[in-house]
Structure 1
Amino acid sequence: MPINDVTDISRLREVEQVLSSIWGSESSPVPLDILRAVTHAGGHVAGCWEDETLVAASVATPADQVTLYSIVVGVTSGQTGRGLGQMMKQHQRAWALSAGFSNIRWTVDPLLRLNAHFNLLRLGAHTSGYEEDFFGAVHDAFNDGGPSDRLVVDWPLDADPRRPSPGWSAGAVTIEQGPDRLPAVIRDGPLTWLRIPDDIVFLRATDAEASDAWTQIYRTHMSAPMRSRHVTVAGLTTAGWYVLEQRA
């Protein structure tokens, strides 16, 4: 399926509409006037069409001379699992390189397991920060008005995919359980494993207390240590555990 850069106002309107449908909200996460401003200011909007139907889109704007800031990449619900997200990011990468950028930055919901796997392992991005309640209250297909904590990730455009991290040793100890009464934080020497829940979107829609408990666990064991520069995210396991490493 072809992916094309978008500057025409009618095509930008299609991008606005498809982003609204993906996020399940009345207004698009990137309205038409902002899309037009992004392209006018030297940013990048792209879309993937199949049989004249837009099935994926991406939006990015320059952060500085080195870094392109990726605002959003979205794939329609009927098209997930076909590798379109990877295709859109690689198209964005190619455009960034042609425009003289060497890095792409964006934010990721740390509690979405598939997103973490895609960004950290398949692309090879690395975490550079944690922002609590980054967007304020968000009501869409993925958020139900609770805290909108985000990991900041940077993708050096010469990065290779990363190998999954190994698990812990027999001497590891559980230091905190999740709201499901299963281990959520495991420590083994200088390394800490932090579990990603199976389906945080479902929890947000059905059990706000449990989803808020997960957010608090992440603020305690990821946000605070990262802000104080005590730990860095060293990797991710295939089973969905972040690996946090204490800084020397």
Structure 2
Amino acid sequence: MIEIREVQGHQEVSRVQELQALVWGRSELDIVPHGLTVAFMYQGGLVGGAFDHGEMIGFVMGIPTADPKKQHSHMLGVLPGHRGTDVAVRLKRFQRDWCLSRGIEQVVWSYDPMRSVNANFNLRKLGAVVREYHPNLYGQMSGVNAGVDSDRVIAEWNLRDPEVFQRIYAPPASLEVSGLRTINRGFENTLDLQDEVLLYQLPADFGHLVQHDLEEARKWRAAGREALTTYLEKGYVLTDFVRSHGNFYVLRHQAH
């Protein structure tokens, strides 16, 4: 029986630190410390946990921003043994309900645009969209992110959007992408396309490349940075993710 609720007490806060190390293999320097986590909670942030028979197996951390209607979702982590279940989506449902009950209407967070698992979760399963790309946002990192620049895109999750509600409770079928043009062939980008809808293909498993072939991972990072920054600056938005004979972002042009 999985229970989703706010984290309570110092013992559960300490478990959040443990989970950061277990989920991402982070060094102590990259883990949000106990005292700062408590400060987030005290100042109106969310630290929610997923509990399996009393043991915390996942968490979500959201912190206030300068805009009282916006929360920054700093981390979402689920133990490897519970990935592929609905625990992560349930944590995000809890976060959405928690925020709306407090007048917060948008949640934003950063993620690595080359990691297809994250892209699929954020865009396809949650209904977030991406308009911003930030090269090497956090500098050099440890654990599963070591060795490549920490490029990140910003996911925007508009909590009152009907499509967000549909995605997290009754997901629609994937978009049919046959006939749509693709920006890249591997590392080679075409930067002058003007179709209303375009695709960008990700590597099969960027995380595996980071761990086992850093040179290849760095080539993908540079190519992805070039393609995505170019098209985002042209007014395209990453609106969906499709797994059909590969991993593809769906980019739609939106008028400024």
What residue in structure 2 maps to residue 38 of structure 1? Answer: 40
Aligned counterparts of 1:89 and 1:176: Cα–Cα separation in 2: 32
TM superposition shift of 1:164: 3.1
Aligned counterparts of 1:184 and 1:67: Cα–Cα separation in 2: 35
What residue in structure 2 maps to residue 232 of structure 1? Answer: 237
Aligned counterparts of 1:103 and 1:24: Cα–Cα separation in 2: 29
Aligned counterparts of 1:190 and 1:95: Cα–Cα separation in 2: 36
Give 1:39-58 correspondences, 5 Å limit. 39-58=41-60
User: Gaps spanning 5+ residues in structure 2: where?
Assistant: none
Aligned counterparts of 1:201 and 1:223: Cα–Cα separation in 2: 21
Query: Relative contact order: is structure 1 or structure 2 higher (C-alpha 8 Å, sep ≥ 6)?
Result: 2
Q: More deviation in 185-194 or 128-137? A: 185-194
Aligned counterparts of 1:72 and 1:176: Cα–Cα separation in 2: 30
Give 1:134-145 correspondences, 5 Å limit. 134-141=137-144, 143-145=145-147
TM superposition shift of 1:245: 3.4
Q: Which amino acid aligns with 1:9?
A: H
% identity of equivalent residues: 25
Q: Which amino acid aligns with 1:198?
A: A
What residue in structure 2 maps to residue 60 of structure 1? Answer: 62
TM superposition shift of 1:131: 0.9
Structure with the higher fraction of residues in helix conformation: 2
Aligned counterparts of 2:207 and 2:241: Cα–Cα separation in 1: 20
Q: Which amino acid aligns with 1:177?
A: R
**TM-score, structure 1 normalization:** 0.88
Q: Which amino acid aligns with 1:136?
A: G
TM superposition shift of 1:111: 1.1
Aligned counterparts of 1:211 and 1:56: Cα–Cα separation in 2: 28
Which 4+ runs in 1 deviate beyond 6 A?
183-186
Q: Secondary structure at the match of 1:71?
A: strand
TM superposition shift of 1:168: 4.3
Q: Which amino acid aligns with 1:133?
A: N
What CA RMSD, in Å, does the superposition of the two structures yield over aligned residues? 2.3
What residue in structure 2 maps to residue 166 of structure 1? Answer: 176
What residue in structure 1 maps to residue 99 of structure 2? Answer: 96
TM superposition shift of 1:232: 2.2
Residue 178 in 1 paired to residue 186 in 2?
Answer: yes
Query: In 1, are the aligned partners of 2:189 and 2:227 still within 8 Å (CA)?
Result: no
Aligned counterparts of 2:184 and 2:219: Cα–Cα separation in 1: 12
Query: In 2, are the aligned partners of 1:7 and 1:36 still within 8 Å (CA)?
Result: no
Residue 195 in 1 paired to residue 201 in 2?
Answer: yes
Residue 74 in 1 paired to residue 82 in 2?
Answer: no
What residue in structure 2 maps to residue 221 of structure 1? Answer: 227
Aligned counterparts of 1:234 and 1:9: Cα–Cα separation in 2: 39
What residue in structure 2 maps to residue 83 of structure 1? Answer: 86
Aligned counterparts of 2:131 and 2:39: Cα–Cα separation in 1: 27
TM superposition shift of 1:241: 0.8
Q: Secondary structure at the match of 2:207?
A: helix
**TM-score, structure 2 normalization:** 0.85
Structure 1's 20 and 175: CA in aligned 2 closer, same or farther, altered over 3 A? closer
Query: In 2, are the aligned partners of 1:178 and 1:213 still within 8 Å (CA)?
Result: no
Query: In 2, are the aligned partners of 1:110 and 1:116 still within 8 Å (CA)?
Result: yes
User: Gaps spanning 5+ residues in structure 1: where?
Assistant: none
Q: May I ask how many residue pairs the two structures share in their alignment?
A: 241
Q: Which amino acid aligns with 1:21?
A: L
Aligned counterparts of 2:185 and 2:234: Cα–Cα separation in 1: 24
Q: Secondary structure at the match of 2:243?
A: coil
Cα deviation per residue 1:49-106 (whole Å; 9 max; x = unaligned)?
2233210111101112111110001000111111110011111111111111011111
What residue in structure 2 maps to residue 20 of structure 1? Answer: 21
Q: Which amino acid aligns with 1:85?
A: A
Structure 1's 168 and 83: CA in aligned 2 closer, same or farther, altered over 3 A? same
Residue 119 in 1 paired to residue 127 in 2?
Answer: no
Q: Which amino acid aligns with 2:236?
A: V
